[in-house]
Chains A and B, each alone.
Chain A
Amino acid sequence: MSLLEIKHVSKIYGELKALDDVSLTVEKGEWIAIMGPSGSGKSTMMNIIGCMDKPTSGQVLLDGMDISRESGKKLTEIRRDKIGLIFQQFHMVSYLTAVENVMVSQYYHSMPDESEALEALDRVGLKQRARHLPSQLSGGEQQRVCVARALINHPELILADEPTGNLDEANENIVLDLFRQLHREGTTLIVVTHDPEVGEAAQRMIVLEHGRVAKEVVNESFQA
């Protein structure tokens, strides 16, 4: 069974079709990049996959569950249990330290565990900065905290919306390396990006245009 099956999904805002009859299947452990021009519906798709929005029509099956039909409460549960989110804006709770931000994710998922959170930070190379507030961290460091936070509950699927959009080359590479590690561990990754370099790091590249899948490119030279 595929981890994610998107079947004829449309999302319509009034006149505008943000997603127009999109179908896509993602297998467990796959690394997918979603690309396309601004306004093509990438974030809309991520919201639907991430259980934060529902399609106007069509069906979305996540791990066999039809998330296009579930209630809000159930969606929150599914998101909490199965999905790790990484955003372009590297959102952090401004008044909590790096380790506390990671623990927030644990708190909503199950149990806060500081040593585990510190391990996750160690993994993104930020053990030394665990006690710093977001304002004391650089953008790249913040994004790495967000990666640590996304992986702390061992989600089956990590959704990243422009994770390197605001990062410099060096930090971008650190984040990509982390993705590679996660991929090797078997985590399914769906990464929205404008950056061809990030797109090419994935196994498969889906290109959206005007809410439709315009192109699908398999990365032949992909190395795990």
Chain B
Amino acid sequence: MSKRRMFLKMITASLLRRKSRMLTALLSVAVGATILAGLVTVYVDVPRQMAASFRSYGANMLLMPGENTVLNQQSVDAALSLISEEKLQGASPYRYVYTEFMGNQTGEGKYSSQLRFMTAGTSFENVQKTSPYFAVEGRYPEAQREALVGKNAASTIGAKLGGSVRIAYDRTELVEIEETQTELQGSAPGYYDAEVSVTVILNSDGTIKTVAMDLSRQTPFRVAGMTTSSFTDTYGIAHAESFTDQFTGKQLPLTLSTSENDPDEYIDAVSGATASSKAVVDAVNAALPVGTQTDTQQITNTERAAMSFTVSGILETGGEEEDYIYISLRDMEAITNEKDRFDVVELSVAGSSEELNALANEISENTGLECRLVKRVTKSEASVLGKLQALVFLVTLVVLVLTMISVSTTMTAVVSERRKEIGLRKALGASDNSIRAEFLGEGLFLGLLGGAIGALLGYVFALVVSRQVFGSDLQFNFALVPATIIVSMLVSALSCLIPVKRAVAIDPALVLKGE
């Protein structure tokens, strides 16, 4: 038998045949190695885990309409094509509109309550990716006409899971109306026969749109007791405007009011300028067409659309989402009668803040959309990540030291327990180096076994931590097995230095003393 085999035989026998001792020592190494391997696994995995966790706190990139670009399927697709597939974790389009919640109908067009709510149309499948923190009681809408109601909104309107809510949306439509207007011109003698001329614009339905007067040839009105200016002077303008305003909307011919009992549609004269006023009315009545002009007008048409939804889920987020009602994009299109239009697309993209910044710029430049980072989250992500890693690193260090102390204590106990045996070995001719080699050998063997056990248990430990803290699984890191074993062996060997020193100092003569 070779010396090396005998050496291995002795150290393995020492560990394997003295089971209880060995188990104590092995336990301290294995526990240390377990925590070590576990923490290192977590440490290595933390960035991934944290990134995943932070992504779960909402999207980190927003797409919004640009100055000249609308946010629709086409522009969104263009933006998404710039993001590499493995980095894009999710994209959720949102269309936000104000709607009114209709309570119970109490009569023709009358409801018990009418409250304004923000309603969002979105794709629930994608929302679950970009906002995994959404806590839904019940379930996400699946079928048509199902709604996810924010918790606050639900309590305000008294919506119950499985109940129904009726919401109304005012579809507004801008209508352009082309109108052909007729221009008339006429004149009539006024004060002191000085001529008054007018230009009248008639709407297509014959009503007056505007009347413009030329009173330049009228001398100032004379009014008993006071000298007022003409229609055109500082005081008269007010009179003139309120005077001509009366014409708008009236039909020809016009009549000048002469008494208080006259009907409303009569034209009231400017007091103190009755002659001129009369001349204007006469001129309007006498005006003849001189031409036509077309004018386009925009009119807002409002049409109310109402729909009932089944409440499939109540949404709890702790944020403003709890005030909203969420419906599918299809239902949103149906209620608004607008297709392919989003207000914002929330993106969840993996990457460092620099990468994301560059990406956002690229998207903004190439698509004309506005692409913004949700900065608060990405920044804190980096800083929290750093702090957490530092913490894990510190704890790892502390565990390492504790393991060393523990192994050292155990080995010291082993040495004092085996004083006689060491004395005997020395009496049999063991040199100091043989004693060192044997104890270090035992330490290394312990480190090997404990490290192997720790590497496996450490993975389990890390898995538990990962599941508990981050709620996700973990990949087994094979490189960590030899690493853990080597570190354990090193730590064990280091821990053995002091006990070994003690062992070497043992006096062989003690074996002859009949202790």
Contacts and interface: CB of A to CB of B under 8 A. Distances in A.
A65 interface: no
B10 A96 contact: yes
Interface string B1-34: 1110111011001100110000000000000000
Contact of A96 (B1, B13, B511, B512): B13
Residues of B contacting A: mostly = helix
Interface in B401-456: 420-421, 424-432, 434
Interface residues of B, number: 32
A73 B429 contact: no
Nearest to B431: A76
Contacts of B430: 76, 108
A128 interface: no
Contacts of A80: 428-429
A59 interface: no
A104 B10 contact: yes
A46 B512 contact: yes
A112 to B, nearest CB: 4
B376 interface: no
Contacts of B90: none
B428 A95 contact: no
B513 interface: yes
A43 B514 CA distance: 10
Interface in A82-121: 85, 87-89, 91-96, 100, 103-105, 107-109, 111-114
Interface in A38-55: 43, 46-47, 50, 52-53
A98 to B, nearest CB: 13
Given A95-B18, A100-B9, A114-B1, A50 B427 contact: yes
Nearest to A93: B421
B14 A89 contact: no
A87 B511 contact: yes
Given A85-B428, A103-B1, A108-B428, A95 B513 contact: no
A91 B424 contact: yes
B64 to A, nearest CB: 76
B508 interface: yes
Contacts of B421: 91, 93-94
A85 B426 CA distance: 11
A162 interface: yes
Nearest to A43: B512
B252 interface: no
Given A52-B507, A100-B9, A112-B3, A87 B512 contact: yes
Interface in A7-49: 43, 46-47
A52 B6 contact: no
Given A87-B512, A94-B421, A79 B427 contact: yes
A133 B425 CA distance: 17
On chain A, which size bracket covers the interface?
A: 35 or more
Interface centre among B2, B10, B18, B427, by most A CB within 10 Å? B427
B434 A108 contact: yes
A161 interface: yes
Given A104-B425, A113-B1, A53 B509 contact: yes
A94 B434 CA distance: 18
A42 to B, nearest CB: 10
A149 interface: yes
A52 B423 CA distance: 10
Contacts of A88: 514
A91 B420 contact: yes
Contacts of B507: 52
A73 B430 CA distance: 10
A12 to B, nearest CB: 16
A73 B427 CA distance: 12
A109 B424 CA distance: 14
Contacts of B18: 94-95
A76 B426 CA distance: 8
Contacts of A87: 511-512
Interface centre among B1, B2, B13, B430, by most A CB within 10 Å? B1
Nearest to B423: A91
Nearest to B508: A52
8 contacts: A46-B512, A47-B512, A85-B512, A100-B10, A107-B6, A108-B428, A112-B5, A114-B1
Interface of A: 43, 46-47, 50, 52-53, 73, 76-77, 79-81, 85, 87-89, 91-96, 100, 103-105, 107-109, 111-114, 133, 149, 161-162, 165
Interface of B: 1-3, 5-7, 9-10, 13-14, 17-18, 420-421, 424-432, 434, 507-509, 511-515
Q: Please list the 4 inter-chain residue pairs (A to B) with the smallest Cβ-Cβ separation, ordered nearest first.
A: A80-B429, A95-B17, A108-B429, A112-B6
Given A53-B509, A107-B3, 4 more contacts: A93-B425, A96-B10, A111-B2, A113-B1
